[in-house]
């Protein structure tokens, strides 16, 4: 036997180390080459094998050995070319001869740090277990004394408020002739009435032009045709000038983050704006990568993006983890909210977004004292990202459910739960249950929820899942054309189809929300903080969230 | 569902009229309690109009504690009334049912009514805190010209138990509720009507938005916004908060608990203010199938309900006497000789308001303001 030391393959990885193993059926394969051509990471390649065949003819055995060359599809054993499991090969195969299979025994994380560079990816936390949000159910069903409503026929008003609601005691109104009249010249903070499910911050840079356009068209249609005031956030990186100067700007929340990318264009467009944006979101943190700034890797910094962001092409765009000009959150609140408010004449709600954290309540209490803070958005650990270190995504962050609940109950203690809306993000719809997750968060105290990954999956067929499938958003190689700036890839994605799906998704969620609210007997106002409607079959979760334990 | 029976009149009448009306609506309540709240009192109370009446149920110990507390805090007892109890099978007799008229402590006699009202409420709350842990003392109201009686049992039997048929206690306004027990324990503090600083209300229908409303009220900084043994107590406190604390005219109660759509608000002359109210008081939207009947400190009686109320309440009567009931048979019992064609079934935008003296019924329409 040859000694192990001399095995040429000893320092190579075996197939069992890889997260996905390609299952290829020689008998079905027509060798058309589509799979190897489409593979975004070149994990498979055409190869030539020698095949030895032994045959025997006649009545007595007379074995004959023949050797012939045969073409095969071979999986790469190089860690840089690991199969991401996206399944593009299966999608294009005309004979169903190939598909990737998840390997539960993989040791991918042990090896994906070549060159001393830790594993980076897109997507979200790779945790396929049932989320807390999916464990919550609605157990207060109206019966007898308060009959349930008819979700199909009753009139529902599913709307929320984004902006600082003055306490009634501070409203500029007085009684005159038995009626209430407003006192002219008093400042009332801007408050928007919007749909309680928003499309959260995803930048035009993280997303391909076609994906972004599809989302934008979708929400515009929802607003203008369907009457659903759905809004979306720009993410860091600005907005195309065509939107900034259009009447559609009111459907967009513009984000300012620590890299200030895109803000030259925004400030320059200010005099030409014919509508105010829905709101300004100041990003201090992101649930997927708490403590990290935004990151757009060089692969995706191409023509359009470099123009909008005002930077050269092909360089990594890493935003700092904090706003460098600010010493503390207190200062940020005082100055940044103020200056953003001033830019639009105090007509636009301005609020911060932070990553889920144990210290969220401290931030909240600070905001509660600031009369200009319009909301607080908290992005939980299940939030997604276009690019981050795997360790940040998988191991950093705070679940959204208890974070939002703690913050809401803190506001309740101060009597300010209606003044400062909380927006919950991170993992909403992770298991496909958008309306149920949104309703649960609302009943825990959120005024609205953000979705990101969910809309990519449902509107554009994003392959990503919690088994680390695909997740190459950072590399610009998105096989669906969602998170890439490569025209060859994003041309695959039809913006009209994305828009159509966005509309379908929101209309369906609206019906589902009614199916949840109707049995609870609620139709006029969003049941924010209606925690008595929630139950969970896990005592610890019930105790932690101050809701009913049911079994 | 609980049955509601309110009568407002220009003349004094016996609360038994309300109880007889409740009896006609019997299939709607399960005899789990009767609450009576009398305003503008006649009979033995007529001469004490400006002095606060403390309505309580207590044990011997509770009575001792009550008297000690009141004495220690400078209240001087002027008159005590107790119903002449007649034992009725099924009703467990407690040791004392009392209504005591007090004079204010000397330091408060010349104070404005607002301060006196705060003193009365805080005294009621202090007594409640003392008596609640061991159940020795229940205090329902402490306010001039208001008397409250509550006990668990069938309304007619409770009326007999209190000897109301022969009692000389009369008033010009009575709220009465026959309780249908729902989610909450049969408990005296869970029994309508509820009272705070001159406002009394009773409700039927389950309050779906109870938890957020309760949390909002408890954050207003008013110690009186407590209790909530029944989800209906919030309706009394919302009225108190909007009318007394915020100073809004009475009809805005309707705008707050059942806010209209923006397109409907746009048609009102006070639309700018209304839009602000709708946002700032969003958590007070009741969003449930409730009918609220109540009175304000000046003796105005009202009825209001959410559009989800499948069967609206009814208001009927004649000049000098009007009944506001959850069922038409109750009105038939209270004012049989009225012109039934003038009966009012308030619709989703309506608020029925009857000024003291019961001369006429006003239907305020929310669309027109």
> What is the tens place of the pLDDT at every residue in A39-81?
999 999 999 999 898 999 888 988 999 998 999 999 999 999 9
**pLDDT above 70 (res B30):** no
Compute the mean pLDDT over every residue in chain B, rounded to the nearest whole number. Answer: 93
Task: Judge: A415–B220 Cβ closer than 8 Å, yes or no.
Answer: yes
pLDDT: which is higher, B141 or A293: B141
Out of B180, B208, B218, the one facing A520 most closely (by C-beta) is B208
Chain A's closest residue to B1, CA to CA, is: A145
User: Cβ B249–A179 below 8 Å, yes or no?
Assistant: yes
- State how many domains chain B has: 1
- B282 and A161 in contact by Cβ < 8 A? yes
Tell me the two tokens of residue A444: 């825990």
Give the residue from B182, B212, B284, B305 with the most A CB atoms within 10 Å of its CB, the best one to mutate: B212
B288, A146: Cβ pair inside 8 Å? yes
Segment B47-60, tens digit of pLDDT: 999 999 999 999 99
Cα–Cα dist B60/A258, whole Å:
70
Cβ-defined contact of B287 to A167 (cutoff 8 Å): no
Mean pLDDT of A133-158: 86
Query: Rounded to a whole number, what is the distance in Å from the CA of A529 to chain B's nearest CA?
Result: 6
Q: Which domain holds residue B192?
A: 3-365
Q: What mean pLDDT is predicted for residues A110-133? A: 95
Q: Can you give the pLDDT at residue A5? A: 57
Q: Does A149 touch chain B (CB under 8 A)?
A: yes
Number of H helices, E strands in chain B: 10, 16
Give the CB-side neighbour count of residue A119, counting CA atoms within 13 A.
20
Neighbours of A346 (CB within 10 A): 16
- Minimal Cα–Cα distance from A225 to chain B, Å? 18
User: Of A30-34, A328-332, B27-31, which one has max mean pLDDT?
Assistant: A30-34
Residues 6+ apart with CB under 8 A from A320: A258, A259, A293
Question: CA B296, B298, B299, B303 torsion: positive or negative?
Answer: negative
What pLDDT does B189 receive? 87
B221 closest CB neighbour out of A146, A178, A415:
A415
pLDDT band at A145 (very low <50, low <70, confident <90, very high): low
Residues contacting residue A279 through CB under 8 Å, at least 6 positions apart: A162, A163, A192, A231, A253, A254, A348, A349, A350, A351, A374, A375
3-state secondary structure B240-272: HHHHHHCCCCCCHHHHHHCCCCHHHHCCCCCHH
Q: End-to-end alpha-carbon separation of chain A, Å? A: 62
Q: Does A359 touch chain B (CB under 8 A)?
A: no
Nearest to B341 by CA among B350, B328, B353: B328
Query: Which chain A residues touch B369 with a CB distance below 8 Å?
Result: 179
pLDDT at B109: 93
Q: What is the least distance, in Å, from the CA of B252 to any CA of chain A?
A: 9
Residue A326's pLDDT is what? 64
Q: What pLDDT does A301 receive?
A: 86
Contact yes or no for B211 and A531 at CB 8 A: yes
Helix locations, A39-145, DSSP H: 88-92, 108-111, 132-135
CA distance A514 to A531: 17
Distance (Å, rounded) from C-alpha A341 to C-alpha A349?
A: 7
pLDDT in tens, A278-327: 999 999 999 999 988 877 888 888 888 888 888 888 888 888 877 776 66
Instruction: Report the C-alpha gap between A81 and A475 in whole angstroms.
Output: 13
3-state secondary structure labels for all residues of A314-350: CCCEECCCCCCCCCCHHHHHHHHHHHHHHHCCCCCCE
The whole-number pLDDT of residue A268 equals 93
Interface touch A532/B216, C-beta < 8 Å: no
- Distance in angstroms (rounded) separating the CA atoms of residues A163 and A191: 4
Task: Tell me how close the Cα of A287 comes to any Cα of chain B, in angstroms.
Answer: 28
Closest CA to A84 of A72, A97, A71, A75: A75
Residue B181 confidence (pLDDT): 61
Region B256-283 average pLDDT:
96
Q: Who wins on pLDDT, A149 or B27?
A: A149
Q: Report residue A427's pLDDT band, with 50, 70 and 90 as the boundaries.
A: very high
Nearest to B205 among A145, A169, A172 (CB): A145
- The CA distance from A156 to A168, in Å, is 25
Is some CB atom of chain B closer than 8 A to the CB atom of A146? Answer: yes
Which residue is associated with the tokens 């890889």?
A18
pLDDT band at B129 (very low <50, low <70, confident <90, very high): very high
Contacts of B248 in chain A (CB under 8 A): 175, 180
Check residue B45 and give its pLDDT. Answer: 96
pLDDT in tens, B186-215: 788 888 899 999 999 999 888 889 999 999
Nearest-CA distance from B284 to chain A in Å?
A: 10
Shortest Cα distance from B154 to chain A (angstroms)? 19
Closest CA of chain B from A178, distance in Å: 6
**Cβ contact (<8 Å) for B249 and A167?**
no
- Tell if the CB–CB gap between B211 and A530 is shorter than 8 Å: yes
Residue B287 touches chain A, beta carbons under 8 Å:
yes
pLDDT band at B285 (very low <50, low <70, confident <90, very high): very high
Inter-chain residue contact A415 with B216, CB threshold 8 Å: yes
Domains for chain A: give ranges and CATH numbers. 11-117 (3.30.70), 135-166+188-521+528-549 (3.20.20.70)
- Tell whether B206 is within 8 A of chain A (Cβ): yes
- A307 three-class SS: helix
Question: Using a CB-CB distance cutoff of 8 angstroms, which residues of chain B are in contact with residue A180?
Answer: 248-249, 252, 270, 273-274, 277
On whether the CB atoms of residues A444 and A191 are closer than 8 A, the answer is no
Task: Determine the Cα–Cα distance for residues A431 and A428; give it in Å rounded to an integer.
Answer: 8
Total residue count of chain A as it appears in this document: 551
All residues at 6 or more sequence positions from B203 whose CB lies less than 8 Å from its CB, including other chains: B2, B4, B192, B232, B235, B290, B291, B292, B293
Given a cut of 80, whether residue B352 has pLDDT beyond it is: yes
Say if CB A463 and CB A471 are below 8 A apart.
no
Grouping H, G, I as helix, E, B as strand and the rest as coil, residue A394 is helix
CA distance B275 to B172: 37
CB pairs under 8 A between A and B: 124
Task: Kindly tell me if the per-residue pLDDT of A331 is higher than 70.
Answer: yes
Phi-psi sector, A287: left (phi>0), alpha (psi -120 to 50), beta: alpha
294-353 in B: which are within 8 Å (CB) of A?
A: 308, 310
The residues near A23 (Cβ < 8 Å, ≥ 6 apart) are A98, A99, A100, A101
Least CB-CB distance to B276: which of A146, A169, A188? A188
Please check whether residue A139 touches B, CB under 8 A. Answer: no
ipTM value: 0.93
Q: What is the pLDDT of residues A410-424, one digit of tens each?
A: 999 999 999 999 999
Question: Is pLDDT above 80 for B183?
Answer: no
CA-to-CA distance for B307 and B291, rounded, in angstroms?
A: 10
Cross-chain residue pair B219–A191, CB shorter than 8 Å = no
Cβ–Cβ contact B208 with A under 8 A: yes
Residue B261 has its nearest CB partner, among A157, A414, A415, at: A157
* Cα–Cα separations (whole angstroms), residue B290 to A222, B24, B305: 34, 21, 6
DSSP state of A222: I
Per-residue pLDDT, A303: 80
Give B-chain residues touching A175 at CB under 8 angstroms.
247-249
SS3 A217: helix
Question: Of A5-19, A467-481, A487-501, which gets the smallest average pLDDT?
Answer: A5-19
How far is the C-alpha of A446 from the C-alpha of A444, rounded, in Å?
6
Distance from CA of B311 to the nearest CA of A (A): 11
**pLDDT of res. B353:** 98
- Any CB–CB contact under 8 A between A150 and chain B? no
Q: Which residue of B has its CA nearest to A175?
A: B248
Decide if B246 touches A, using CB distance below 8 A.
Answer: yes
Rounded average pLDDT over A244-262: 94
By CA distance, what is A189's nearest residue in B? Answer: B276
**Closest by CA position to A411, among listed B242, B229, B275, B212:** B212
pLDDT one-digit tens code per residue, B287-323: 888 899 999 999 999 999 988 877 789 999 999 999 9
In CATH, what number is assigned to the domain containing residue B63? 3.60.20.10
Q: Nearest Cβ partner of A142 from B208, B211, B247?
A: B208
Mean pLDDT of A214-220: 97
Which pLDDT score is estimated for A4? 57
Residue B344 phi/psi, 5-degree rounding, is -120, 125
Contact B276 A173 (CB under 8 A): yes
The beta-strand segments (E) located in A9-124 are 20-24, 44-55, 64-75, 98-102, 120-123
Residues of chain A with C-beta less than 8 angstroms from the C-beta of B182: 145
Percent pLDDT > 70 in chain B is 96
Q: Report the distance separating Cα A545 and Cα A404, nearest Å.
A: 9
Average pLDDT, chain A: 93
A336-368: pLDDT as tens digits: 899 999 999 999 999 999 999 999 999 999 899
State residue B3's pLDDT score: 87
Distance between start and end Cα atoms, chain B? 31
Question: String of b and e for A427-449 (b: at least 16 CB within 10 Å)?
Answer: bbbbbebbbbbbbbbbbbbbbbb
Mark yes or no for CB contact A415/B219 under 8 Å: yes
Is the pLDDT score of A330 beyond 80? no
Tokens of A139: 């157990």
Over residues A85-106, the pLDDT tens digits come to 999 999 999 999 999 999 999 9
Asked if B248 is an interface residue toward chain A (Cβ–Cβ < 8 A), one would say yes
Length of chain B: 369
């Amino acid at each position: 036997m040859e000694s192990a030391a001399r095995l040429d393959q000893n320092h190579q990885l075996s197939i069992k180390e890889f997260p996905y193993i390609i299952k290829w059926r020689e008998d079905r394969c027509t060798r058309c080459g589509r799979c190897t051509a489409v593979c975004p990471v070149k994990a498979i390649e055409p190869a030539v094998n020698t095949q030895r065949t032994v045959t025997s003819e006649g009545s007595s055995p007379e074995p004959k050995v023949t050797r012939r060359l045969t073409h095969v599809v071979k999986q790469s054993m190089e860690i840089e070319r690991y199969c991401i499991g996206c399944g593009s090969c299966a999608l294009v195969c005309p004979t169903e001869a190939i598909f990737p299979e998840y390997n539960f025994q993989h040791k991918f994380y042990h090896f994906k740090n070549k060159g001393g560079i830790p594993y980076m990816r897109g997507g979200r936390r790779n945790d396929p277990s049932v989320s807390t949000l999916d464990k919550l159910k609605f157990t207060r069903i109206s019966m007898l004394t308060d009959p349930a409503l008819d979700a199909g026929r009753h009139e529902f008003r599913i709307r929320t408020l984004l902006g600082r609601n003055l306490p009634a005691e501070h409203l500029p109104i007085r009684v005159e002739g038995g009626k209430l009249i407003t006192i002219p010249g008093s400042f009332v903070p801007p408050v928007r009435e919007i749909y309680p499910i928003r499309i959260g911050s995803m930048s035009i840079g993280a997303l391909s032009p076609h994906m972004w356009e599809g989302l934008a068209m979708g929400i515009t249609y929802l607003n203008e045709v369907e009457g659903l005031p759905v809004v979306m956030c720009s993410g860091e990186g600005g907005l195309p000038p065509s939107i900034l100067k259009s009447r559609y700007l009111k459907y967009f929340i513009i984000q300012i983050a620590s890299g200030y990318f895109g803000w030259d264009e925004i400030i320059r467009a200010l005099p030409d704006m014919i509508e105010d944006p829905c709101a300004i979101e100041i990003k201090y943190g992101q649930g997927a990568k708490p403590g990290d700034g935004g990151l757009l890797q060089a692969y995706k910094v191409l023509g359009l993006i470099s123009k909008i962001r005002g930077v050269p092409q092909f360089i990594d765009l890493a935003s700092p983890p904090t706003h460098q000009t600010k010493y503390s959150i207190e200062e940020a609140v005082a100055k940044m909210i103020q200056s953003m408010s001033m830019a639009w004449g105090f007509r636009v709600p301005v609020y911060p977004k932070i990553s889920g954290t144990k210290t969220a309540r401290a931030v909240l209490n600070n905001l509660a004292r600031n009369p200009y803070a319009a909301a607080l958005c908290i992005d939980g650990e299940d939030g997604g990202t276009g690019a981050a270190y795997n360790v940040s995504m998988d191991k950093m962050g705070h679940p959204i459910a208890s974070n939002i609940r703690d913050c809401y109950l803190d506001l309740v203690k101060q009597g300010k739960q209606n003044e400062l809306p909380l927006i919950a993000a991170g993992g909403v719809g992770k298991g496909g249950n958008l309306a149920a997750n949104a309703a649960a968060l609302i009943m825990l105290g959120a005024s609205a929820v953000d979705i990101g990954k969910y809309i990519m999956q449902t509107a554009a067929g994003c392959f990503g899942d919690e088994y680390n499938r695909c997740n190459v958003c950072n590399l610009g190689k998105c096989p669906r054309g969602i998170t890439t700036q490569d025209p060859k890839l994003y041309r695959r994605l039809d913006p009209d189809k994305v828009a159509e799906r966005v509309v379908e998704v929101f209309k369906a969620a609206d019906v589902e929300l009614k199916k949840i609210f109707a049995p609870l007997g609620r139709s006029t106002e969003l049941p924010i903080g209606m925690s008595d409607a929630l139950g969970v079959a896990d005592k610890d979760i019930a105790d932690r969230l101050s809701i009913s334990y049911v079994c | 569902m609980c049955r509601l029976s309110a009568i407002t009149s220009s003349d004094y009448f016996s609360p038994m009229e309300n109880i007889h009306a409740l009896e006609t609506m019997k299939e709607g309540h399960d005899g789990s309690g009767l609450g009576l709240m009398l305003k503008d009192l006649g009979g033995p109370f007529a001469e004490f109009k400006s002095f606060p009446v403390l309505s309580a149920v207590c044990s011997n110990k509770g009575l001792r504690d009550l008297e000690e507390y009141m004495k220690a805090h400078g209240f001087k007892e002027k008159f005590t009334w107790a119903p002449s109890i007649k034992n009725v099978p099924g009703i467990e007799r407690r040791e004392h049912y009392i209504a005591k008229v007090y004079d204010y402590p000397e330091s408060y006699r010349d104070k404005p009514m607002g301060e006196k009202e705060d003193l009365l409420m805080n005294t009621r709350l202090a007594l409640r805190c003392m008596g609640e842990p061991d159940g020795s003392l229940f205090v329902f109201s402490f306010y001039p010209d208001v008397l409250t009686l509550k006990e668990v049992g069938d309304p007619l039997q409770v009326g007999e138990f209190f000897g109301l048929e022969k009692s000389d206690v009369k008033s010009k306004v009575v709220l009465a509720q026959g309780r249908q027990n729902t989610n909450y324990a049969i408990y005296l503090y869970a029994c309508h009507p509820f009272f705070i600083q001159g406002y009394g209300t009773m409700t039927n229908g389950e309050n779906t938005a109870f938890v957020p409303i309760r949390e909002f009220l408890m954050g207003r900084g008013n110690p009186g916004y407590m209790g909530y043994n029944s989800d209906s107590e919030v309706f009394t406190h919302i009225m108190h908060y909007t009318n007394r604390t915020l100073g809004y005219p009475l009809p805005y109660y309707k705008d707050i608990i059942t806010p209209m759509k923006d397109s409907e608000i746009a048609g009102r002359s006070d639309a700018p203010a209304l839009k602000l109210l709708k946002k700032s008081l969003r958590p007070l939207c009741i969003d449930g199938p409730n009918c609220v009947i109540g009175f304000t400190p000046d003796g105005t009686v009202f009825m209001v309900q959410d559009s989800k109320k499948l069967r609206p309440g009814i208001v009927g009567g004649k000049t000098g006497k009007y009944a506001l009931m959850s069922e038409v048979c109750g009105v038939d019992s209270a004012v049989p000789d009225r012109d039934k064609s003038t009966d009012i079934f308030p619709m989703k935008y309506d608020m029925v308001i009857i000024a003291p003296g019961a001369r006429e019924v006003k239907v305020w329409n929310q669309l027109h303001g």
